Amino acid sequence: MAEVAINSCSWLKTHRVNFLKALASSRVPHASLFSGVKGVGKKLLVEQFADTLLCQSPVNSQGLIEPCGHCKSCTLRMAGHHPDRLTVSANDKGTITVDLVRVVIDKLSQAAHQSGNRVVLIELAEKMNVNAANALLKTLEEPMPGTYFMLTSEAPSQLLPTILSRCQHIPVAATEADITDWLSSQRIPADKSVIAMFHGAPFAVKSFLASDEFSVFEQLRDQYKKWWRGEEQALGQMKQLVSKEPVSRIDWLLHLVALHALSAKGSNVTGLNAWYDQLVTCRKLLSQSGINQMLQIEKSFQFGEQLTSGTIKQA
């Protein structure tokens, strides 16, 4: 299923082709880092690559090696408990601890269960604390034959430089055209504003467009347009919509203000940029515990009222 998805994703196909060519020539790096925004398809890639590395009877399809889907290794993998496919992810506190890494390292000290390759998937590697990163580093410095580490990250700059230096870095990104074409192939109307809001994350865009929240976003966007045309009551409607889910919907308003500022002129730009900065501050506060969210939302929309009342001339 993952393979079919990759074949339909133009921004992932090049990475797939490069990996399979490297596999065919026995040049797959022992450690790879796949970086990109949430929802771009990093996990899809590493899972497909892991499936191929673990397959005992890979097949050749148009010159590229692919998992057979029938051998014992593929059967174990599809059942969800392949002993040579190890995954490390953050704990309930959002941290990858040294103990989680050591569990995997201890397993690697034993022989492979299927007498083949072993793959370690580290999800959101930037979640590793210093001790965990150092423990992993020691293993990466002495790579074991037939063992492959695949790390994903949304913030590779947060990783230790020594970890980065021992991984082949593979940035994963999708353009607006990639996303538009992909949605079109599935008969999903593309919304340029939503595509821009998710910063090149196709799967996040698709999920949002299919959710109930998209209709709420459309309402917010319509009210924003009305407000800027001079319908002051629309600002109150916007506040009601944002107040129901402030943490997520404040980002929508930030996006709308940012887009507006790009097309505005003169003093309007100054005011919109100032409101944007205020909304950024609001968003940071909303993510903190013990904050009166409604008070912060009220302050943000009071700023918007100042723009309406003439602090800025209407466009």
247 and 286 in contact (C-beta within 8 Å)? yes
Calculate mean pLDDT across residues 167-173.
Answer: 97
* pTM summary value: 0.86
Cα distances (Å, whole numbers) of residue 204 to 166, 197, 249, 255:
30, 10, 15, 16
Q: Are strands 59-61 and 64-66 parallel, antiparallel or unpaired?
A: antiparallel
Q: Which residues, including other chains, have CB under 8 Å from residue 1's CB and lie 6 or more apart? A: none
Where exactly are the structural domains of the chain? 2-173, 213-311
Number of residues that this document lists for the chain:
315
What is d(CA 200, CA 192) in angstroms, rounded to the nearest whole number?
Answer: 11
Tokens of 125: 């590697």
244 and 229 in contact (C-beta within 8 Å)? no
What is d(CA 8, CA 170) in angstroms, rounded to the nearest whole number?
Answer: 20
pLDDT digits (tens, 9 = 90+) for 257-311: 999 999 888 778 989 999 999 999 999 999 898 999 999 999 999 988 888 765 5
**What CATH number is given for 2-173 in this structure?**
3.40.50.300
List residues bridging with 148 in a β-sheet. Answer: 119
Give the rounded distance of the alpha carbon of 292 from its chain centre. Answer: 29
pLDDT digits (tens, 9 = 90+) for 61-75: 766 677 888 899 999
- Cα atoms in the 13 Å half-sphere on the side-chain side of 198: 25
DSSP state of 111: P
Contacts of 158-162 with C-beta under 8 Å, sequence gap 24+, read 158/126, 159/33, 159/125, 159/126, 159/128, 159/133, 160/130, 160/133, 160/134, 162/137
User: Over the range 265-277, which residues count as b (16 or more CB within 10 Å of their CB) and which as e?
Assistant: eeebbebbebbbe
Calculate mean pLDDT across residues 15-41.
Answer: 93
What is d(CA 286, CA 291) in angstroms, rounded to the nearest whole number?
Answer: 7
Tokens of 192: 């340029």
What pLDDT, on the 0 to 100 scale, is given for residue 310? 54
Cα distances (Å, whole numbers) of residue 72 to 58, 112, 224:
12, 14, 57
Higher pLDDT, 4 or 193: 193
Calculate mean pLDDT across residues 28-56.
Answer: 94
1 pLDDT band, cuts 50/70/90, is: very low
pLDDT digits (tens, 9 = 90+) for 207-259: 999 999 999 999 999 999 999 888 989 999 999 999 999 999 999 999 999 99
Residue 116 has pLDDT above 90, yes or no: no
The DSSP line for 122-170 is: ETTGGGB-HHHHHHHHHHHHSPPTTEEEEEEES-GGGS-HHHHHTSEEE
